[in-house]
Amino acid sequence: MLKTSSFLTCLAAAAALMGAAHTASAQEQVVNLYSARHYQTDEALYSNFTKATGIKVNRVDADDAGILARLKAEGSASPADVILLVDAARLWKGDSEGLFLPIKSAALETAIPAQLRARATPEGTTWFGFSTRARVVVYDKLKVKKTDVDTYEKLADARNKGLLCTRSGSHPYNLSLFGAVTEHMGEAKAEEWLKGLVANMARAPKGGDTDQIKGVASGECGIAITNTYYLARIMRSTSPEDKAIADKVGVVFPNQQSWGTHINIAGAAVAKNAKNTANAVKFMEYLASADAQNYFANGNNEWPAVASVKVSNPALQAMTGGSFKSETLPISAVGNNQVKVQQMLDRVGYK
């Protein structure tokens, strides 16, 4: 949840957008974007869209939860046109709360696979995924056997006691993973699994995914959970420190012999009260273009959602050998498990 000061800052930024919309000339074309993507490489996405269309992108940054809270607070007065989120369950939540506008776009329906977008209704489709990332295990190659961590289930085994490091269990990336595991295993077994994760912690959860990778490299942790793009950044870095980290850690795409590795998405929706709907749809169609999809893959080390766009990212290729088996759970199932997962985390003491 956003701190009060941060929330007020975001509201002020939104108000500035609203004011800019009122004072802009009738000829100026704009699209107002609320974005949870805080990656410098995305700047090229926005500038190239403007160059191609003449539509200016006005952006407000916040986290997923803060954006959804602000949309509800602003109501029909919201200046937001496009909502860009980095977690599938948050997209599901925004959709279930009626914050998105169904749209019809043949270009998006052709480009984005059905499993990476909301279910279509007669009114249209509310959100589309534009990139994916896998939630994988990194391990100390000198201390840990790959076969001891090649499934999510094994992370809770007693053999891994005192080795596991993660960020907060309540972070959206972990909530989505745990929601998926709950769907696969059932609630009772998933809670026992979470209890096993807590028992195997090398330290209390803290930091972000990059901190977990560094913890493995330093010897503080033996194994950790991370999104692939964090590891890819380190693998592609030219700094000696990052090269040393990359040399010390191995990576596993869990559950290749069962349900597949958990993947999450970054996706977008048109805001329910959008004032520039046509421009919003153009922006989302641009995100599905080959140029934008290549930015996701090569700029932020994510996999494109559009199957016809081939990945040339050397780090992603090195991780997977070219391909991996991913789970195919409906995002609605993962989203529906969020509340019960948080309750389980509280019961087992997962911070």
pLDDT digits (tens, 9 = 90+) for 159-170: 999 999 999 999
Q: Residue 43 in contact with residue 49, Cβ under 8 Å?
A: no
Q: Exposed e or buried b for every residue in 194-225, given b needs 16+ CB within 10 A?
A: bbbbbebbbeebeeebbbbbbbbbeeebbbbb
Q: What is the DSSP letter of 275?
A: S
Domain ranges of the chain: 4-132+263-314, 133-261+326-348
- Residue 112 C-alpha from the chain's centroid: 16
Provide the mean pLDDT of the chain.
Answer: 92
What's the half-sphere exposure (Cβ side, CA atoms, 13 Å) at 268? 26
Please state, in angstroms and rounded to a whole number, the distance separating the CA atoms of residues 35 and 300.
15
- Using only C-alpha atoms, the chain has a radius of gyration, in whole angstroms, of 20
Q: With respect to CATH, is domain 133-261+326-348 assigned 3.40.190.10? A: yes
Over residues 66-116, the pLDDT tens digits come to 999 999 999 999 999 999 999 998 999 999 999 999 999 999 999 999 989
Residues in the chain, total: 351
Q: Calculate ∠ Cα 202-208-214, nearest 5°.
A: 60
Same CATH fold, 133-261+326-348 and 4-132+263-314?
Answer: yes
* 36 Cβ contact partners less than 8 Å away, ≥ 6 residues apart: 61, 62, 63, 64, 67, 84, 85, 86, 87, 90
Number of Cβ within a 10 Å radius of residue 56: 16
Please state, in angstroms and rounded to a whole number, the distance separating the CA atoms of residues 189 and 255.
16
**Residue that wins the pLDDT comparison between 1 and 149:** 149
Predicted local distance difference test score (pLDDT) of residue 7: 46
Over residues 168-181, the pLDDT tens digits come to 999 999 999 999 99
Predicted local distance difference test score (pLDDT) of residue 22: 47
Predicted local distance difference test score (pLDDT) of residue 321: 82
Predicted local distance difference test score (pLDDT) of residue 130: 96
Name the packing angle between helices 209-218 and 240-248 (round to 10°): 70
Tokens found for residue 92:
């599901």
| Percentage of the chain lying above the pLDDT 70 cut | 92
Is it the case that residue 251 has pLDDT exceeding 70?
yes
Selection from 313, 351, 115, 118 nearest residue 228 by Cα: 313
For residue 267, the cross-strand partners are: 85, 129
Q: With respect to CATH, is domain 4-132+263-314 assigned 3.50.50.60? A: no
Please state, in angstroms and rounded to a whole number, the distance separating the CA atoms of residues 317 and 200.
31
Q: Exposed e or buried b for every residue in 62-100, given b needs 16+ CB within 10 A?
A: bbbbbbbbbbeebeeebbbbbbbbbbbbbbbbbbeeebb
Please state, in angstroms and rounded to a whole number, the distance separating the CA atoms of residues 261 and 324.
8
Q: Which amino acid is at 1?
A: M
Is it the case that residue 12 has pLDDT exceeding 80?
no
Strands 164-165 and 223-227: parallel
Q: How confident is the model at residue 212 (pLDDT cuts 50, 70, 90)?
A: very high
Predicted local distance difference test score (pLDDT) of residue 5: 47
Average pLDDT on 179-185 reads: 97
Predicted local distance difference test score (pLDDT) of residue 312: 85
Q: How confident is the model at residue 15 (pLDDT cuts 50, 70, 90)?
A: low
Looking at the chain, which runs of residues are DSSP E strands? 30-35, 56-61, 82-85, 100-101, 127-140, 164-165, 223-227, 249-252, 263-271, 303-304
Predicted local distance difference test score (pLDDT) of residue 18: 53
Predicted local distance difference test score (pLDDT) of residue 261: 98
For the ranges 52-61, 119-128, 329-338, which has the lowest average pLDDT?
A: 329-338
Number of Cβ within a 10 Å radius of residue 146: 12
